[in-house]
Amino acid sequence: MQQQQNPNSQMQNSSNLAANKSHGAHEIMDVHETLSTLTGTLEHYKMYQPNIQCEQLQSILSRQTQYLNQLYNTMVNTYQSGTRPQQPTTTYNFELSNDVTYGLSPSQPTQPQQSPQSLNEQNYSSYMMGHIKACATACTTSALEATNPVMRRVLQDSVPNLCEMAYELFLYQNDRSFYQVPQFDDQSMTQLLNSFTAIPNPQQH
């Protein structure tokens, strides 16, 4: 039985490795988890699609699914080749207004739904938000210690777009009072906003 050589038995510079082998073990596992998180998100989106009645949420789900499919393929291509992907990361743009409604309106306490038939747009948009936040967290964590520079760039460039997707879902939920946004009273807000001050002449040592 042929024994495989231990890749850690001698130190190697990344410039001496083939691009598809220029991955650290830590990076391999982190990106593996990131791709698994993206896979789970896409599969759950596919389950939600036939049950969402709201046309606007259907439109959001469709746009996000299209973007996530492209992002997944870009990551897989980079993960396996270690080189510039055939399809680079693109920019995700949402179509909702940035206006946010502040305040709390009376509502009944909630509890976990007991049947699939009870699930509605509030539930599905909340699940979607959770998936996108998990993807953003996974990409951020992976990018922090990725050794392959192209893989790191793809991960980094993905994060702002995932943030836009999460914010799009927040705006949708806020517009329908699914996600209410309380505020501090004026005195507390003013005190907290003014609890820091700028560094004078930061360029001087």
Mean local confidence (pLDDT), 52-80: 96
What string of H, E and C letters represents the secondary structure of the chain?
CCCCCCCCCCCCCHHHCCHHHCCCHHHHHHHHHHHHHHHHHHHHHHHHHHHCCCHHHHHHHHHHHHHHHHHHHHHHHHHHHCCCCCCCCCCCCCCCCCCCCEECCCCCCCCCCCCHHHCCHHHHHHHHHHHHHHHHHHHHHHHHCCCCHHHHHHHHHHHHHHHHHHHHHHHHHHHCCCCCECCCCHHHHHHHHCCCCCCCCCCCC
DSSP state of 38: H
Which one is predicted more confidently, 70 or 81? 70
Domains of the chain, start order: 31-95+121-176 (1.20.1260)
Which one is predicted more confidently, 145 or 19? 145
pTM: 0.87
Mean local confidence (pLDDT), 166-193: 96
> What is the predicted pLDDT for the residue at 20?
53
